Structure 1
Amino acid sequence: MRYCLLLISLFVLKGAKAQTLQLNLNHTVNGVPMALGNTTYLNAAGDTFNITVFRYYLSNFSVTDIAGNTIKAAPECFLVSEDSLNSKRITLKLPEGRYKGLSFMIGIDSLLNCTGAQSGALDPIYGMFWTWNSGYIMAKLEGTSPSSHLPGHIIEFHIGGYRAPHITQRIVNLTLPQTLVLKSSAKINLTADAYTWFNGISFRQVAGFMTPGTAADRIADNYQHMFSVKN
């Protein structure tokens, strides 16, 4: 499956040539490398489970320089999926500089949600769009667990909602462990740990949902903390 980019626009940098920052994403479950299929994991509630789908949107990227200034990258939207290696390599164009922080949004901003189904990374073909009224699924995790009472013991968490009171976009602010010197090109390795999704949640009580609501808000609060800088 090929994941395209949405809103690829010319990024004009005042007095600076655009440099390349590559983000390499790695998925884990409680520190164990994620593998789709029959690999068994354990959540904090003691439920065993496996994962068959792990997918989410990232957008609104920016960096913070050593003086504390925020520099926004071009307004691109990326669909990241465990089953697509290419989707886990994100390239940003930024001015040369020294940076101490990285920020981005998990999900799609409200404007794109209320515009309806679109193309590129937001094409409904990827199974991440509900309706014009409910908008996009910000993140999705599917699999099975013996603790689930749903048919086939499935677990199915589709996290969405862009209007109050159920808003599931989350901003991630990461401090880099050392100053990033961006000159020509640089890389940052990020880890996203799906274990964080289910803090305080047992599949015996909640095994899945596919609508905005309090349960989705709770998991969005959890997965806001799933990212860390590997090195």
Structure 2
Amino acid sequence: MKKKLLYFVTLITIILSSCSKNDDPAPDFEEANLAPFSIEFDNIVGDRTFSINNTGSLYTNAAGEKFSISMLQYFISNIKVTTASGKTYTVPQDESYFLINGADRNTRFTKVQVPEGDYTKVTFTLGVDSLRSTMDLSKRTGVLDPAAGGGHDSGGMYWGWNSGYIFFKFEGNSNVISDDVNGDPTGKKQFKYHIGGFGGYSAPTINNIKVITIDLNAAGIAKVRKDRQSNVHLFVDMMKVFNGPNAFSIAAHPNVMFSDYSVNVAKNLAQLFTHDHTEN
């Protein structure tokens, strides 16, 4: 009898212990009941690790062009989460602007607070929305400070001459670039992709803001609870800058900034993000 009782107790213990935190029921959706949540933007290049100044082991795009990367920065903003039943929560805008810097892995997390719940979709903007872009400077602080980073010439993310943000800045070097393209005094053959344009008063014909929605069902929904950090891990593939739906060669377009062709590059940027897994 004692053996049967011991067996029964052991079995119950095993069953209870196998029910991890990931299996707990979703709490009621209450906007005041906030808990930690983050999206991780993990940069890669095709099937390789992302690296700055990778001159010893160059990347190769679909056109067969070898290149190294010297800079990567991009804005992520306006984060929103959605439950399976369609309930949504948008992070307050003042808390929802982030600058991802490829040279600093500590910037890859966008940490916010959302209500406890089970989320099947996340939505965010690649870039800075037109409303915030045109607000008074007192409303554009932190990473949105136009002077942050020493201005455009020192790697900043703002076009002073165009009164707008650079949403995505990607620079590097490739020997396929013609010598007369940028005349760099150091002899480097640099490519530069500075993509912006919010369709506002200064550029009514160019709007390169991209709103990205990621379905989390296949690789793990986000179960946000107060007692733990829920993190959605995304891979961000820089090779798709060249190899996306509007594929192009570095040689043909080594410098793309505020021009009509930037629209083509921006469409590629919408394809950068892939959900790898979710940590709950």
Q: Which residue of the partner structure matches residue 145 of structure 1?
A: 174
Equivalent of 1:42, from 54, 60, 74? 60
Contact (CA 8 Å) 2:71, 2:170: kept in 1 or not? Answer: yes
Partner of 1:100: 120
Contact kept? 1:26, 1:192, Cα under 8 Å: yes
Q: Which residue of 240, 261, 275 maps to 1:196?
A: 240
User: Any idea what the Cα deviations from partners look like across 1:178-228, whole Å, max 9, x if unmatched?
Assistant: 3321112311111100111113111111101332x2221111100111011
Q: Name which structure has the greater RCO, CA cutoff 8 Å, separation 6+.
A: 1
Determine which of 49, 52, 66 is the counterpart of 1:33. 49
Ranges in structure 2 where 5+ consecutive residues have no aligned partner: 1-28, 150-155
Written as runs of structure 1 = structure 2, the 5 A alignment for 1:129-208 is: 129-131=158-160, 133-149=162-178, 150=181, 151=183, 152-163=188-199, 164-176=204-216, 177=218, 178-184=220-226, 185-199=229-243, 200-208=247-255
> Which residue number in structure 2 is paired with residue 110 of structure 1?
130
Structure 1 stretches of at least 4 aligned residues deviating more than 3 Å after TM superposition: 13-16, 115-118
Q: Deviations over 1:140-170 (max 9, x none)?
A: 0000011112332100110011123111110
Please tell me whether the aligned partners of residues 81 and 88 of structure 2 are also in contact (alpha carbons under 8 angstroms): yes
Q: Aligned AA for 1:191?
A: F
Q: Which residue of 1 aligns with 2:9?
A: none
Alpha-carbon distance in structure 1 between the residues aligned to 2:263 and 2:135: 22
Q: 2:77 touches 2:97 (CA, 8 Å); kept in 1?
A: yes
What does the per-residue CA deviation read over 1:46-98, in whole Å, with 9 as the maximum and x for residues that have no partner?
Answer: 11111010110000100110102221112121000111122112111000111
User: Which one has the bigger strand percentage?
Assistant: 1
Name the CA distance, whole Å, in 2 between partners of 1:84 and 1:186: 22
The superposition leaves residues 21-61 of structure 1 with CA deviations (integer Å, 9 ceiling, x where unpaired) of: 12222111112110000241111111111101011000010
Matched residue SS, 1:230: strand
Which TM-score applies when normalising by structure 2? 0.74
Letter in 2 for 1:81: N
2:273 to 211, 227, 230: 227
Query: Cα offset for 1:125?
Result: 2.4
Question: Which residue, 67, 86, 90 being the options, matches 2:106?
Answer: 86
Identity value in percent: 27
Structure 1 residue runs without a partner (length 5+)? 1-12
Structure 2 residue matching 1:92: 3-state secondary structure: strand
Give me the whole-angstrom Cα distance separating, in 1, the residues matched to 2:31 and 2:255: 50
Q: How many residues align?
A: 218
Letter in 2 for 1:52: S
Please give the TM-score of this superposition, normalised by the length of structure 1.
0.88
SS state of the match for residue 86, structure 1? helix
CA contact under 8 A between 1:102 and 1:173: conserved in structure 2? yes
Contact 1:139 1:160 in 2 (8 A): yes
